[in-house]
Amino acid sequence: MENFHLTMPTDIYFGKDSIKKITKGLNQYKKILLVAGSGSIKKNGVYEKVTQQLDSMKVKWVELWGVVPNPDIEKVREGIKLIKENDLQFILAVGGGSVIDTAKAIATGFYYEKDPWELFYDERKVQKALPIGVVLTLPATGSETNGNSVISNRETREKLAIHNDILRPRFAILDPQFTYTLPPIQTAAGSADILAHIFEQYFSNSKAYMIDRISESIMKTVIKYTPIALEEPENYEARSELMYASTLALNGLLSSGKISDWATHAMEHEVSATHDITHGVGLAILFPSWMKHCYSDERAGKYLDYAKNVWDISEKDPFNAAMMAIESTSKFFKDIGLPSSFTELKIEQNYVNIWTDSIVKRRKSIGSFKVLFEQDIKSIYQSAF
Amino acid sequence: MENFHLTMPTDIYFGKDSIKKITKGLNQYKKILLVAGSGSIKKNGVYEKVTQQLDSMKVKWVELWGVVPNPDIEKVREGIKLIKENDLQFILAVGGGSVIDTAKAIATGFYYEKDPWELFYDERKVQKALPIGVVLTLPATGSETNGNSVISNRETREKLAIHNDILRPRFAILDPQFTYTLPPIQTAAGSADILAHIFEQYFSNSKAYMIDRISESIMKTVIKYTPIALEEPENYEARSELMYASTLALNGLLSSGKISDWATHAMEHEVSATHDITHGVGLAILFPSWMKHCYSDERAGKYLDYAKNVWDISEKDPFNAAMMAIESTSKFFKDIGLPSSFTELKIEQNYVNIWTDSIVKRRKSIGSFKVLFEQDIKSIYQSAF
């Protein structure tokens, strides 16, 4: 086990009608910025529930609407302006990962004297942040309790991330009922995103028995409950398990004592920078291809664990077991309604070179489970068509 | 899944030489109380490592030695006096659960104007606490990151607990190397304690698929690594897995969304109040007896999961599988060197009535997986002889 530091300070209020706990979370803050997406929270009643609570607490708020998937730095700039103009003290994100990530970038960008995009070129500049709270409506990114923010810049065609514990939200309201109205593709892409986060930490050369078994437990949960949530959108049990899985998949727990990989995420970020596809969809397409590429005798033990403990594959030959497990992974993504290749998304093959060039011009290699160089990256992109 | 609140704010610094991170943990505190046990930390070098760090930070400290297993309220009173006399700001616990629990009771007792034992009669009186830090030397109670403190009163022959998130330590230094010199019985009793904490939360009627699988993962970890740590006391991997298991077993994670039981702990507290036995030893004796007593058709599913997922028992008949799993549990405790009955400890049978009376005079029933009344409690005690 590698040395590690871990803290999970977010106050999680989980369950039916947990929105009422927002009074505990907001505590003394009386002037806040409410950040939201394109309006689905008005349709499903979440906006009303949140603002009723704010009203009852005599909290004043300013609203920032229009955060899009693969959220843009422009919206961050807009948010910082609103905070300064209105002298706000707290940011409440009501939505999924894009909304939360935008809130985090605003929170730290507020204290940075220059343009906030500079923080994404050098995350050491992230030093201070306004407090943030979250009302989650889409289980996927884990952003509700972690310190990560991923923002895109459509002008420079970049998608970059910052990480810092000071960006961890003060509280997260997790009411599984708020996810009943999610479109099936969002439920499915969210689950792919959760699994992808686990893969990035699970497929590692670090030895960490307990954390590996816990990772498998969360993978099994997502695999079991995603089809149920798709079949019965108002199944509380399924929605609860998926919501809590998203949180535990990326709050620091699963990487404790381990060196994580994150090559596939780096590769997906290139794809969504050029094509604005849903993050989880890109990951679901890339991961089986990455898994195949990384297989080798010395890494076979990990694949055997994955096959046996996640997919109940009893095959003893490591290579066969690995291929069966990868096949099960692909089939799972397909069965929940996700595309299996970039070809299906009508992306042209010449992007293999564009994406690869964009990665290698900044970094010589990516990943750690297997260190990937230019040819590896190309080959993984290629076989995802 | 039941509604829940969860926060895990303790800064965990895990790994080799993590003692150096004490500088981050202590931050601005310059006058502290160092709480310790009977002196083993002087023999194994931990005391020297800690005080070297304190010296290098120019921290002044006062020492409170002599915390015993089943720590007594008298030592808490002594600590509060030292803090007041010396105007200290922070409490550093260097030791196992007893030392940490004493530190917590001092931390909140300091702010309580009357005798601190009153807090244990009514934990709602726990309102404020001094900040605490931990250097862990014995993985067992999980006290290093949770908000629990269990204190005995030898005068009134009571053992009572308080729980509050404000008692969660600010930081916990977890260096597995600090457990290399533990006597085998303490390693074994610590592991029994960890398993017992998981049992209390796992055997529940609440449905929580993911948390149940995670619980099984941690149980498997303890079962796998305890014999290795006993065989090779300086096996870093085994010591790491056990140390992290103790933390995750009782930091709130495994009870999220579940109603916990805690009947067996209530029963063990009676035993150690009259006989001062090691907590983990008492739990290892009582749990198999409790498991047998609670078996019924409607609870059979839980036992089947336990048998299959923890002990790899493929038996399909629920009753047989349950009995085999309980037998495996007893055998495990025996194999790691723990006594199997109160008779082995030379405790006399008439205590069955004394313990039972002491419980039922305060509470009509205990537990929730199966609610236990006077006759149930007697019967479980009885079959543990």
ipTM confidence score: 0.96
Give A12's contacts in chain B (Cβ within 8 Å).
4-7, 256
Give A210's contacts in chain B (Cβ within 8 Å).
217-218, 221, 241, 244-245, 248
Summarised one tens digit per residue, pLDDT across range B66-114 is: 999 999 999 999 999 999 999 999 999 999 999 999 999 999 999 999 9
Residues 105-134 of B with CB under 8 A from A: none
- As a dihedral over the C-alpha atoms of residue A140, residue A142, residue A147, residue A151, rounded to 10 degrees, the angle is 0
Fold of the B184-382 domain: Dehydroquinate synthase-like, alpha domain (1.20.1090)
Mean pLDDT for the stretch of residues A29-44 = 95
Band (B261; pLDDT cuts 50, 70, 90) = very high
Q: Quick check: B256 contacting A, CB < 8 Å?
A: yes
Mean pLDDT for the stretch of residues B326-331 = 98
The nearest CA of chain A is from the CA of B173 a distance in Å of 10
**Per-residue pLDDT at B272:** 87
**Per-residue pLDDT at A272:** 87
Band (B353; pLDDT cuts 50, 70, 90) = very high
- Taking all residues of chain A, what is their mean pLDDT, rounded to a whole number? 96
A/B interface, count of CB pairs below 8 Å: 122
- Whole-angstrom Cα distance, residue B372 to residue B270? 15
Spell out the domain ranges in chain A. 11-178, 182-382
**Is there a contact between B199 and B305 (Cβ–Cβ < 8 Å)?**
no
Give B227's contacts in chain A (Cβ within 8 Å).
none
- Whole-angstrom Cα distance, residue A291 to residue A303? 9
**Per-residue pLDDT at B27:** 83
Q: Quick check: B214 contacting A, CB < 8 Å?
A: yes
Q: Is B343 helix (H, G, I), strand (E, B) or coil?
A: coil
Contact yes or no for A1 and B256 at CB 8 A: no
- Taking all residues of chain B, what is their mean pLDDT, rounded to a whole number? 96
Contact yes or no for A4 and B15 at CB 8 A: yes
- Whole-angstrom Cα distance, residue A378 to residue B47? 54
Give the single-character DSSP code of A166: G
Q: Quick check: B8 contacting A, CB < 8 Å?
A: yes
Q: Residue A58's CB: how many other CB atoms inside 10 A?
A: 7
Q: Quick check: B241 contacting A, CB < 8 Å?
A: yes
Summarised one tens digit per residue, pLDDT across range A73-92 is: 999 999 999 999 999 999 99
Compare B320 and B159 and report the one with higher pLDDT.
B320
Q: Quick check: A178 contacting B, CB < 8 Å?
A: no
- For an interface test with A, the pick among B214, B235, B246, B248 (most A C-beta atoms closer than 10 Å) comes out as B214
Of B2, B210, B225, the CB nearest to A217: B210
Give A13's contacts in chain B (Cβ within 8 Å).
5
The percentage of chain B sitting over the pLDDT mark of 90, rounded to a whole number, equals 96
**Per-residue pLDDT at B88:** 98
Category of A232 on φ-ψ map: left (φ > 0), alpha (ψ -120 to 50) or beta: beta
Model pTM score: 0.97
The nearest CA of chain B is from the CA of A239 a distance in Å of 10
**Is there a contact between A272 and A223 (Cβ–Cβ < 8 Å)?**
no
Q: Quick check: B371 contacting A, CB < 8 Å?
A: no
Asked if residue B385 has pLDDT above 90, the reply is: yes
Give the H/E segment covering residue B13.
strand B4-14
The nearest CA of chain A is from the CA of B220 a distance in Å of 8
Summarised one tens digit per residue, pLDDT across range B25-59 is: 998 899 999 999 999 999 999 999 999 999 999 99
Asked if residue A148 has pLDDT above 90, the reply is: yes
Q: Quick check: B283 contacting A, CB < 8 Å?
A: no
Contact yes or no for B10 and A7 at CB 8 A: yes
- Whole-angstrom Cα distance, residue A141 to residue A149? 10
Q: Quick check: A214 contacting B, CB < 8 Å?
A: yes
Q: Using CB atoms within 10 A of its CB, is residue B278 exposed (0-12), middle (13-18) or buried (19+)?
A: buried
Mean pLDDT for the stretch of residues A27-51 = 95
For residue A196, CA distances in Å to A73, A77, A215, B70 come to: 24, 30, 11, 45
Summarised one tens digit per residue, pLDDT across range B3-27 is: 999 999 999 999 999 999 999 999 8
Q: Looking at domain A182-382, which CATH architecture does it have?
A: Up-down Bundle (1.20)
Asked if residue A159 has pLDDT above 90, the reply is: no
Of A1, A21, A240, the CB nearest to B1: A240
- Whole-angstrom Cα distance, residue A265 to residue A271? 10
Asked if residue A157 has pLDDT above 90, the reply is: no
**Per-residue pLDDT at B377:** 98
B323 contacts: CB under 8 Å, gap ≥ 6: B292
Band (A120; pLDDT cuts 50, 70, 90) = very high
Of A21, A217, A256, the CB nearest to B214: A217
**Per-residue pLDDT at B66:** 97
**Per-residue pLDDT at A356:** 97
Asked if residue B276 has pLDDT above 90, the reply is: no
**Per-residue pLDDT at B342:** 97
- Whole-angstrom Cα distance, residue B170 to residue B144? 9
Spatial strand order of the sheet with A60-64 comes to: A60-64, A31-35, A90-95, A132-136, A171-174, A4-14, B4-14, B171-174, B132-136, B90-95, B31-35, B60-64
**Per-residue pLDDT at A276:** 83
**Per-residue pLDDT at A124:** 97
Asked if residue B216 has pLDDT above 90, the reply is: yes
Contact yes or no for B213 and A224 at CB 8 A: no
Summarised one tens digit per residue, pLDDT across range B152-189 is: 999 998 889 999 999 999 999 999 999 999 999 999 99
Q: HEC string of B23-38?
A: HHHHCCCCEEEEECCC
Contact yes or no for A16 and B3 at CB 8 A: yes
- For an interface test with A, the pick among B6, B309, B314 (most A C-beta atoms closer than 10 Å) comes out as B6
Fold of the B11-178 domain: Rossmann fold (3.40.50)
The nearest CA of chain A is from the CA of B183 a distance in Å of 23
Q: Quick check: B7 contacting A, CB < 8 Å?
A: yes
Mean pLDDT for the stretch of residues B221-235 = 98
Contact yes or no for A15 and B21 at CB 8 A: no
Of B3, B18, B210, the CB nearest to A245: B210
Longest dimension (CA), chain B: 64
Give B216's contacts in chain A (Cβ within 8 Å).
213, 217
The least confident of A65-69, A271-275, B119-123 is A271-275
Give B15's contacts in chain A (Cβ within 8 Å).
1-4, 257
Contact yes or no for A220 and B241 at CB 8 A: no
Contact yes or no for A5 and B13 at CB 8 A: yes
